[in-house]
Amino acid sequence: MRSIACVAAKCVVPPFSYRDCVNFAPVLVKGQSPPLCRYCTDFVPIPDAGLSLIEPFLDEGRPENAGVLAHFRRRNERRHPLAAWPADVPDAYLSLGSHPDIVERVWNALGPGASWRLVVLGTPALVDPEAGTVLAVALGTSYWLRLTRDDLAVALAAGARQTHRYGLDPNDFDASETFGATWVHGSWDEREPGWVLATSTADRFS
């Protein structure tokens, strides 16, 4: 993703400096205010807008998407469309119910490019642009990924979980029951981008 430097130039969290801001500030969209990096006050990420003229693709008929779409439809109180580009949603990093660091992880770190970033029924998601399958989603203060069965075994052996308890909810959220058998809770593991690409490859050949 192309970036610009933080206009505030007041990063104060070591070891980051003004020069590091380019790693965190999204591209400036014409007509909007310049963004600040996350280590400055009033950090306001702004998503890419270059894909707005292309129709986003998500395949509702793929069985891999069934659980995710059913869950998102139940929580889509604002009646967001099935799929939209982040640039078409006001304050997409901040207004969709997830922490901006989580949204940034899903959109900017796990996927290879802007064409993979969608808002699916009001939820930030990573979607294969060719297969139309959901690969990762942001939910509140955490994120979830769909893995191949081989990678799921590796992730679980390394301590990854398929359940997570949000806040004061007395019950665990079980992704294997809600989303599908191979979904796992994100753990900021450096292997996750590779796992996402492996799932994408499998989807395209299935």
Over residues 117-159, the pLDDT tens digits come to: 999 999 999 999 999 999 999 999 999 999 999 999 999 999 9
Q: How many CB atoms lie under 10 A from the CB of residue 40?
A: 22
139 strand-pairing partners: 142
Q: How far apart are the first and last CA of the chain?
A: 29
User: What is the pLDDT, as a whole number, of residue 52?
Assistant: 59
User: What is the pLDDT, as a whole number, of residue 25?
Assistant: 36
Pairing relationship of beta strands 163-164 and 173-174 according to DSSP bridges: antiparallel
Three-class SS state of 184 = strand
Residues 6+ apart with CB under 8 A from 175: 144, 162, 163, 164, 183, 184, 185
pLDDT under 70: residue ranges of the chain? 1-53
Within this chain, do residues 58 and 34 fall inside the same structural domain, yes or no? no
Within this chain, do residues 37 and 57 fall inside the same structural domain, yes or no? no
Within this chain, do residues 35 and 118 fall inside the same structural domain, yes or no? no
Domain residues for the domain of 75 are 48-204
Within this chain, do residues 174 and 74 fall inside the same structural domain, yes or no? yes
Within this chain, do residues 108 and 193 fall inside the same structural domain, yes or no? yes
- Tally of structural domains, the chain: 2
Within this chain, do residues 63 and 153 fall inside the same structural domain, yes or no? yes
